[in-house]
Amino acid sequence: MLRVVVCVSGGGTNLQAIIDGIADGRIADTRIVGVISNNAGAFALERARRSGIDAVCVSPRDYEDRAAFHGALLERVNGFAPDLIVLAGFLVTIPPEMIRAYPNRIINIHPSLIPSFCGVGYYGLKVHEAALKRGVKVTGATVHYVDEGTDTGPILLQKSVEVHEDDTPKTLQRRVMEEAEWVILPQAIDRIARKGHMEWNPE
């Protein structure tokens, strides 16, 4: 049984895709043992609780500095004893000590085809605004391992999505979620659950 902790900041539609994927069998042999949000108002916390999943908030506002927040975050994660940590719209930079504690055991979903529209400053709607501004005809989503850079870790899965002429950042965001994110994030977790994360270790 793959024990998964999901880290979230907002609406939690990717979390929902994981919950649904486990329920309908698209994700094998996996349990979400905890959900952690940096934002107490995140609807993702509500989604978790509705599904009977342990959900907690660890907010930087409750700690005197970044180091104390990072320490508390790592302690919470460790408390769930996860095999895999999934960043599903978690808009917090992962502390290096957490990356070192969970080598090749943290994955992230990013709403573009990396290496386009990624790195510092590219998150959420900003990614789709940049894609439309550049005029790309195809975009998509990427699931990748998390290393100490921003969106620089080894790529596990990608899926492309067509850009429409009349797209706004919001319509494009929605299509990328529906056609790519909610598909490849459950697929990536399923593959890791079936094969064990070590087989995916790219090193």
Distance of CA 198 to the CA centre of its chain: 19
Residue 54 or 129: which CB sits closer to ligand GAR? 129
Residue of the chain from 2, 10, 18, 156 that contacts ligand GAR (CB under 6 A): 10
**Positions in 120-149 near ligand GAR (CB under 6 A):** 123-124, 127
Contact 1, 30 (CB under 8 A): yes
Residue nearest to ligand GAR (CB): 89
Check binding of 111 to ligand GAR (CB under 6 A).
yes
For helices 169-176 and 125-134, what crossing angle results, to 10°? 110
Check binding of 109 to ligand GAR (CB under 6 A).
yes
- DSSP strand pairing (84-87 vs 2-8): parallel
Closest CA to 94 of 3, 192, 188, 7: 7
Q: Tokens 């000590």, residue?
A: 97
Report how far residue 132's alpha carbon sits from residue 173's, in angstroms, rounded to the nearest whole number.
11
Contact 13, 177 (CB under 8 A): yes
Check binding of 186 to ligand GAR (CB under 6 A).
no
Residue of the chain from 21, 89, 153, 186 that contacts ligand GAR (CB under 6 A): 89
Q: Which stretch binds ligand GAR (CB under 6 A): 31-39, 46-54, 94-102, 119-127?
A: 119-127
Q: How far is the CB of 60 from ligand GAR (least distance, A)?
A: 17
Report how far residue 40's alpha carbon sits from residue 29's, in angstroms, rounded to the nearest whole number.
30
Q: How far is the CB of 10 from ligand GAR (least distance, A)?
A: 4
**Positions in 23-52 near ligand GAR (CB under 6 A):** 44
Q: How far is the CB of 168 from ligand GAR (least distance, A)?
A: 15
Report how far residue 55's alpha carbon sits from residue 163's, in angstroms, rounded to the nearest whole number.
35
Kindly list the catalytic residues: 110
Contact residues: ligand GAR, CB under 6 A: 8, 10-14, 44, 88-89, 109-111, 123-124, 127, 177, 181
